[in-house]
Amino acid sequence: MVKKELMMNIIEFRGSNPGIGLAARNGAAGPEAELVEDFKEFVPACFRWQKGDVALFHEPQMDSGFPDLVAVQYMPRAFRWPATRLELKPVDLKVMHHLVGVKGADVRMLIGALGVDPRTLLGTLERLLDANMITRSGGKWMPKPLKWVFGLRSIVAVEAKMKNWRNAFRQAQLDQWFASQSYVLSPIESPSGTALDRSRRTGVGILLLNGGRVRRLESARKGHIPASYGSWLFNEWIGRRLQSS
């Protein structure tokens, strides 16, 4: 069982914030929204986070849908950015993620792999260079060390459902695109064997919140982040929020 425990600084993102490039859905009130509100107080203890701070995103718009809650553990010291970092666009993050994955590439390789036109790529490389995220060496564009440019330690997506487990798992699997872990959250006490089998097969964990406590029935499979440019979006949203505060 996990008891409520607030040990870390927590910032919340609710609704759209065009100033930082964040679009989000304003969820309707109801049992699932209440379940999320009850759960957020357990986040640091539930995931055994003891370092850094926490950001909570309510229904952010992602390419994969609108996850109910995304809890992000981040290290504040990693967000000492130059002002030029705030000018990055989604296409820039896609190129950056690719460079991190391949450990550097020249222009020809980037065009072939990403299908971006040369003019767009030139603008992207200029912005990433100005943001101090890449360098040029031996004819290749090389990413700076990840610890210098990516400040997130964990990205946990949570889908809250009262009954519809099939839809919950479907969305939770989509959330694995950007998250290091993905969970289904429910107030029921004993999920069916089918739900347990699906959890073990897909790597989606199960959290049960009832009686004022959270129980992790099945742990989610842990993945590496950044898992996609979607992981970078959370990094940039947090960084821009911190820069403006």
Mean pLDDT of 193-219: 92
Position 237 in a domain: yes
Confidence category of residue 166, pLDDT binned at 50, 70, 90: confident
Position 202 in a domain: yes
Position 55 in a domain: yes
Looking at the structure, do residues 213 and 122 belong to the same domain, yes or no? no
- Give the structural domain span for 69: 10-75+151-244
CATH number where 121 lies? 1.10.10.10
Mean pLDDT of 218-237: 97
Per-residue pLDDT, 163: 79
Per-residue pLDDT, 204: 97
Rounded Cα distance, 71 and 75, in Å: 14
How many distinct structural domains can be found in the chain? 2
Per-residue pLDDT, 4: 54
Rounded Cα distance, 181 and 155, in Å: 7
Looking at the structure, do residues 220 and 235 belong to the same domain, yes or no? yes
pLDDT at 3 over 80: no
Looking at the structure, do residues 116 and 211 belong to the same domain, yes or no? no
Position 1 in a domain: no
Give the β-pairing of 69-74 and 134-137: unpaired
Query: Using alpha carbons only, how large is the chain's radius of gyration in Å?
Result: 19
Rounded Cα distance, 222 and 73, in Å: 14
Mean pLDDT of 237-244: 94
Per-residue pLDDT, 189: 83
Rounded Cα distance, 224 and 232, in Å: 13
Position 3 in a domain: no
Looking at the structure, do residues 165 and 238 belong to the same domain, yes or no? yes
Looking at the structure, do residues 21 and 70 belong to the same domain, yes or no? yes
3-class secondary structure, 155: strand
Looking at the structure, do residues 27 and 112 belong to the same domain, yes or no? no
Q: Please identify, among 101, 124, 146, the residue that sits at the C-terminal boundary of a domain.
A: 146
The 10s digit of each residue's pLDDT in 40-71 is 989 988 898 988 899 999 999 999 999 999 99
Looking at the structure, do residues 111 and 138 belong to the same domain, yes or no? yes
Looking at the structure, do residues 140 and 164 belong to the same domain, yes or no? no
Mean pLDDT of 176-195: 91
Position 221 in a domain: yes
- Whole-model pTM: value is 0.93
Looking at the structure, do residues 71 and 155 belong to the same domain, yes or no? yes
Position 80 in a domain: no
Looking at the structure, do residues 188 and 238 belong to the same domain, yes or no? yes
Looking at the structure, do residues 155 and 234 belong to the same domain, yes or no? yes
CATH number where 44 lies? 3.40.1350.10
Looking at the structure, do residues 226 and 178 belong to the same domain, yes or no? yes
pLDDT at 5 over 60: no
Query: How wide is the angle at C-alpha 108 spanned by C-alphas 103 and 110, nearest 5°?
Result: 45
Position 20 in a domain: yes
Per-residue pLDDT, 206: 95
Rounded Cα distance, 170 and 157, in Å: 13
Per-residue pLDDT, 164: 78
